[in-house]
Amino acid sequence: EDAPQFNAGKGAVFNAKGGHELDASIMEGHTRRAGAVAGITTVKNPIKLARAVMERSPHVMLAAGGAEAFADTQKDIERVPNSYFDTDKRRQQLDKAQRDEAAKGKREARTGDGDAPTYFGTVGAVALDAQGHIAAATSTGGMTNKKWGRVGDSPIIGAGTWADDRCGVSGTGWGEYYIRNAVAHDICARVGYRGDSLQAAAEEVVNRIVPAAGGDGVGDDQAVVSGGDQQELRVQGGLSRHDFLCVDVLHIKASFIFVVNTRLPLSEGKRVEIRVITELFGMSPACGAP
């Protein structure tokens, strides 16, 4: 969220009014606790507020003004003016989206470069700790030029984020399709109820069911990464452009499997660091030194 390259926190996409409304959620698998916030405008790190909802409120999801009011009661939740989230790159994307929309006369929530959407960069993470517990979290600015308080899949438990006691998913893509297909939960349900492998379940849902419904499908700008040693996670090959950060305790051979956006400087054999979620939960890493 603090890195401007990602569509979350600083660097989040602009909505149609030239501002930012941020969504985030977090789920702890073995307890099924969850917290989510939607339409956030002044919280520097929405995922921390989602965690506060999970841990310090009786609710799962708080939205817009109510979520901001809850943030007012939380001393450790840092606030910023909405313009803090601005970046030139995202401003250019909004300008282009609005020009394209005007040219096409389209009134759809989704905008971008047609087949090459400009909204990549939602941040997601799944962690497996030394006790075998899984947690998943997702944070996003949503989609460029979104209107009318639109909320995507990222703060919806079961759509953009899910964790149970053996499978966790954090997704990115065209949120409306992820909501309609309960994507994150469906992947874990296939693993849990049918014994599908994690890869087969993710492939079926992300690369077949969602595209068949009209959403985003297979891309080639991401790569599957796995490893048994936190210090040595290696790129294994391309899968899809959706960031899936999944752990399947029963089937997994490595300690981590996840998909990263290869627009990051990631190449074969390059070391990747996983720290965010373990810090967030105060968990010890599943393997290796932190």
CA gap 277, 154 in Å, rounded: 16
Size of the site for ligand ASP (CB under 6 A): 14
Contacts to ligand ASP from residues 112-141, by CB under 6 A: 119, 122, 140
Q: Which stretch binds ligand ASP (CB under 6 A): 14-22, 47-55, 81-89, 148-156?
A: 148-156
Q: What is the closest distance, in whole angstroms, from the C-beta atom of residue 212 to ligand ASP in the complex?
A: 18
Out of 39, 158, 173, 219, the residue judged to bind ligand ASP by CB under 6 A: 173
Q: What is the closest distance, in whole angstroms, from the C-beta atom of residue 2 to ligand ASP in the complex?
A: 18
122 tagged catalytic = yes
Out of 112, 152, 215, 227, the residue judged to bind ligand ASP by CB under 6 A: 152
Could you give the strand order of the β-sheet that contains 22-28, starting from the edge strand earlier in sequence?
Answer: 61-63, 33-40, 22-28, 134-140, 123-128
Q: Are 286 and 127 in contact (CB under 8 A)?
A: yes
Q: Which is closer to ligand ASP, CB of 151 or CB of 188?
A: 151
Residue 7 as a binder of ligand ASP (CB under 6 A): the answer is yes
Q: Which is closer to ligand ASP, CB of 109 or CB of 286?
A: 109
Choose, from 118, 122, 138, 278, the residue flagged as catalytic. Answer: 122
Q: Which stretch binds ligand ASP (CB under 6 A): 47-55, 62-70, 169-177, 201-209?
A: 169-177
Out of 142, 215, 217, 219, the residue judged to bind ligand ASP by CB under 6 A: 142
SS3 at position 151 = coil
State which amino acid sits at residue 281.
F
Tell me the DSSP string of 32-53. Answer: TEEEEEEEESSBS-HHHHHHHH
Q: Which is closer to ligand ASP, CB of 94 or CB of 252?
A: 94
Q: Are 77 and 71 in contact (CB under 8 A)?
A: yes
State which amino acid sits at residue 186.
D
Residue 153 as a binder of ligand ASP (CB under 6 A): the answer is yes
CA gap 118, 126 in Å, rounded: 24
Element holding 29 (H helix, E strand): none
Residue 217 as a binder of ligand ASP (CB under 6 A): the answer is no
Q: Which is closer to ligand ASP, CB of 134 or CB of 143?
A: 143
SS3 at position 173 = coil
Out of 15, 139, 154, 230, the residue judged to bind ligand ASP by CB under 6 A: 154
Query: What character string, x for contact with ligand ASP (CB under 6 A) and - otherwise, covers 174-193?
Result: xx------------------
Strand ranges inside 106-204, DSSP E: 123-128, 134-140, 161-163, 167-170
User: What sign results for the dihedral spanned by CA atoms 80, 7, 179, 161?
Assistant: negative
Ramachandran region, residue 255 (left: φ > 0; alpha: ψ -120 to 50; beta: rest) = alpha
Q: Which is closer to ligand ASP, CB of 119 or CB of 256?
A: 119
Q: Helix 46-56 vs helix 64-72: angle between axes, to the nearest 10 degrees?
A: 80
CA gap 129, 60 in Å, rounded: 23
Residue 261 as a binder of ligand ASP (CB under 6 A): the answer is no
Q: Which is closer to ligand ASP, CB of 25 or CB of 140?
A: 140
Please identify every residue annotated as catalytic.
122
Residues that bind ligand ASP (CB under 6 A): 7, 119, 122, 140, 142-143, 152-154, 160, 172-175
